[in-house]
Amino acid sequence: MIDRTLRMDKIEHIGIAVKDLEKSNGVFAALFGKAHYKTETVESEGVKTSFFEVGPNKIELLEATKPDSPIAKFIDKKGEGIHHIAFAVSDIQAEMDRLQKEGFILLNKEPKLGADNKLVAFLHPKSTNGVLIELCQERP
Ligand SMILES: CC[C@@H](C(=O)O)C(=O)SCCNC(=O)CCNC(=O)[C@H](O)C(C)(C)COP(=O)(O)OP(=O)(O)OC[C@H]1O[C@@H](n2cnc3c(N)ncnc32)[C@H](O)[C@@H]1OP(=O)(O)O
Ligand SMILES: [Co+2]
């Protein structure tokens, strides 16, 4: 039976893979009419990120920090563009357990540290119609 207390709350951010973060910061600042509000490197993911706020929404730009970064591999195969959609959840471990039971492929067994003070987990795009999904929980 579906536990209705568990669910994804909203889109937390959209991740966009870019080759040159500084250059793309300029492109998106011109598009949104305001600068990014923070930059953060998450070495465990091989990424340098910057974040923009657009009304209630958040855009995360991601540049690879090493050749085997998921972002470098993605750009090699598909070019720059939308890399993932992240959803906010209130209990990431419970949501991971629920999604695994539903047959989705979890890319990490336990939540890991993401950017912007979040715990994160990923679902394999081959189990989600070709879209990489990230779950995000605010760190306590
Ligand atoms: C900053 C931290 C955090 C946050 O707080 O927000 C982030 O957002 S970090 C973002 C970067 N981290 C990740 O993406 C981690 C999760 N990703 C992975 O584990 C891998 O990228 C992957 C999805 C398992 C793919 O890895 P791998 O199998 O090694 O790469 P391949 O290049 O061989 O791809 C296999 C297959 O998957 C397709 N693919 C890869 N990435 C994506 C994607 N983002 N969206 C859709 N499809 C994707 C790729 O095209 C290949 O397909 P085929 O060629 O058809 O086999
Ligand atoms: Co992300």
- Best mutation site among 39, 40, 49, 84 for ligand 1, i.e. most ligand atoms within 8 A of its Cβ? 84
Residue 95 gets the label, from left (phi > 0), alpha (psi -120 to 50) or beta, of alpha
Q: Are 100 and 106 in contact (CB under 8 A)?
A: yes
- Best mutation site among 21, 47, 63, 77 for ligand 1, i.e. most ligand atoms within 8 A of its Cβ? 77
State the ipTM, two decimals: 0.98
Asked if residue 84 has its Cβ within 6 Å of ligand 1, the reply is: yes
Angle CA 79–82–85, to nearest 5: 145
Is the confidence at residue 13, as pLDDT, over 60?
yes
pLDDT per position as a tens digit, 71-109: 999 999 999 999 999 999 999 999 999 999 999 999 999
Distance of CA 126 to the CA centre of its chain: 16
